[in-house]
Structure 1
Amino acid sequence: MVASRNRRDDLLASLPRHEAPVVLVDNASTDDTVAAVRAAHPEVTVVPLDRNTGAVARTLGVARAGTPFVAFTDDDSWWAPGDLARGVEIMRAHPRLGLLAARILVGPAEELDPVCTEMADSPLASEPDLPGPSLLGFVACAALVRTEAFTAVGGFDRVVRFPGEEERLALDLAAAGWGLAYVDEVTVHHHPSTHREPSTTRQAGIWRSRVLTALMRYPLRDVAGQLVRSARAGRPGWRGLAGAVPRVPAALRNRRVLPQHVMAGVRELAS
């Protein structure tokens, strides 16, 4: 499942690399993405949206796929040959595994994404019924989800949107009893698009998502801690706080405090 916006050329290059049927949800692109993909890849199921819904596009894509498992990629990433099938086998062998986070190799040099080192060294207690280190986060372009679990917790939501949308979903999966694990024998290739927003804009968006996720799920003292961390993060943090303000009412309407054992993991990762 691929969500995309205004990255026609990246899509046309990456789509042939996918080994499974593809659902493309287009977030109201203005670069003729929909027509170009339909012409070049008629086998792809294209779902055009009339507005940019952010990460919610993935939720719509999962519903359209209608399969027991759905792999996420971006327009500039793809699963290594044979590894998607391997990932599904691992999911089937571990029935509590709600989300598998794959190893990410970046660019033609295939350098390991630093986030993979962090996931491999997760300080969370290893769970014997999972195939790798336990997680409370993941990278959306390299994740395989169990549709039952994803749908039960609502998928990606309209409050957090993008970027930094992964945390709220990961926390809700854990709260519902599903496991999340890093599995480094399954690989995703990521060749970052040249059509990317400035890093400062992205960092501000991530801080906005962290604040909104805290408002939706953290106990009040942890919300306060997240606000302080954002304020201390400099300009990106302040921009993130400002960006979160219009969405605060929606975040509070969707507020549901996490169980203590999940918050214990959140605090462990933040320490």
Structure 2
Amino acid sequence: MSDVATPSARAPGRHSARVTVAVITRNRRRSVLRTLDRLAALPERPQVVVVDNGSVDATVDAVRAHPVGAQVVAVGHNTGALGRNLAVRHATTPYVAFSDDDSWWAPGTLDVAADTLDAYPRLGLLAARTLVGPDVAEDPLNSVLAHSPLPLAADLPGRPVLGFLACAAVVRRRAFLEAGGFHRVLFFGGEETLLAYDLAARGWGVTYVSSVTALHHPDPGGRSGRSAVQRRNALLTVWLRRPVAVALRHTTHLVAAAARGEREAGAALRGALARLPAALRDREPLPDRIEQAARLLDRAPS
């Protein structure tokens, strides 16, 4: 069986019965409206759920007025990545594609994703190829995922992985909810690995399928403090799911970096220590087979 199926025909003027696009946003009205413009133009006509994480720039009113007809969930405060969990719970389709307020999907690709998920019942999450900016440059993560050392599985398409980019992923709604979605301890930033672990631990496949394409147009310069948050969450993910010896080794490395005066390492360490008690309460070590896969990825060249 081939990795993906041919996109199926769909009657014009109807919203997709298979895919909802879930968008989270906060105080980025212009950016999220651009994303909605792109989603409204897709031939699949996906349903759209927008979770607003407490914007104060009139985002909610602007999104409600947009012709894409999005369902708006106005939270009133910043839920971080947990806003995606809310969006998935509000979705009524079997599959949910994630977009951030600076990303969207290539025309036709959501049908490819849905056909792939239809064809592979064990597939819980499909990691897409990400093209960045107006020059549609390859995101470096594409190569990392494409060269994953994890062995191929006959009942899964593409390359098995234990990581993905959240704004370039399509999930099976049932699998996502079964795994608990994105974890509250991490909040936001580098939250994907933990979800991949939790899906795999429950028997769901997580694979990279390059024929599904997400388009990401981040603001130039990025967001301050993001690296520290990602390092914090990487350490918390290890404490949540990996053996204690592995977690202690990762902690030692971060402590050493902080001791050398690396500012971001110090901020990451302080943030991890503040959240560590909550992480330990939710600690659930991976099954042996998934831990072995995680160790294989640990040894892979970066």
Q: TM-score, normalised by structure 1?
A: 0.96
Aligned equivalent of 2:272: 244
Aligned equivalent of 1:9: 30
Aligned equivalent of 1:220: 244
Give runs of aligned pairs for residues 39-54 of structure 1, distance below 5 A: 39-41=65-67, 43-54=69-80
Query: How much does 1:225 deviate?
Result: 1.8
Matched, 1:207 2:228: no
Query: How much does 1:194 deviate?
Result: 4.7
Give runs of aligned pairs for residues 24-63 of structure 1, distance below 5 A: 24-41=50-67, 43-63=69-89
Aligned equivalent of 1:113: 139
Aligned equivalent of 1:257: 285
Query: How much does 1:58 deviate?
Result: 0.2
Greater Cα shift, 137-146 or 213-222: 213-222
Q: C-alpha distance in 2, partners of 1:114/1:232?
A: 27
Paired residue secondary structure (1:129): coil
Q: C-alpha distance in 2, partners of 1:13/1:207?
A: 30
* TM-align CA RMSD: 1.3
Query: How much does 1:175 deviate?
Result: 0.6
Aligned equivalent of 1:183: 209
Corresponding letter in the other structure for 1:245: L
Q: C-alpha distance in 1, partners of 2:149/2:112?
A: 26
Give deviations 1:149-181, integer Å, cap 9, x for gaps.
Answer: 100010012111110111111001011111111
Q: C-alpha distance in 1, partners of 2:99/2:85?
A: 13
Aligned equivalent of 2:194: 168
Paired residue secondary structure (1:17): helix
Q: C-alpha distance in 1, partners of 2:167/2:221?
A: 16
Contact 1:210/1:226 (8 A) holds in 2: no
Q: C-alpha distance in 1, partners of 2:177/2:206?
A: 15
Matched, 1:99 2:99: no
Paired residue secondary structure (1:100): strand
Query: How much does 1:39 deviate?
Result: 2.2
Q: TM-score, normalised by structure 2?
A: 0.86
Give deviations 1:115-161, integer Å, cap 9, x for gaps.
Answer: 00000000111112111111001100000000111000100121111
Runs of 4+ in 1 over 6 A off after TM superposition: none
- Calculate percent identity across the aligned residue pairs: 48
Aligned equivalent of 1:21: 47
Contact 2:48/2:68 (8 A) holds in 1: no
Contact 1:71/1:144 (8 A) holds in 2: yes
Query: How much does 1:195 deviate?
Result: 8.4
Contact 1:102/1:183 (8 A) holds in 2: yes
Query: How much does 1:235 deviate?
Result: 2.7
Unaligned runs of 5+ in 1: none
Q: C-alpha distance in 1, partners of 2:125/2:58?
A: 33
Contact 2:37/2:68 (8 A) holds in 1: no
Q: C-alpha distance in 1, partners of 2:136/2:209?
A: 17
Matched, 1:147 2:173: yes
Q: C-alpha distance in 1, partners of 2:252/2:298?
A: 13
Q: C-alpha distance in 2, partners of 1:232/1:113?
A: 30
Q: C-alpha distance in 2, partners of 1:150/1:157?
A: 11
Query: How much does 1:54 deviate?
Result: 0.6
Corresponding letter in the other structure for 2:148: S
Contact 1:10/1:193 (8 A) holds in 2: no
Query: How much does 1:48 deviate?
Result: 0.6
Give deviations 1:211-258, integer Å, cap 9, x for gaps.
Answer: 111111111001112213323553322211111122112111111111
Paired residue secondary structure (1:262): helix
Q: C-alpha distance in 2, partners of 1:211/1:176?
A: 22
The alignment covers a number of residue pairs equal to 269
Query: How much does 1:50 deviate?
Result: 1.4
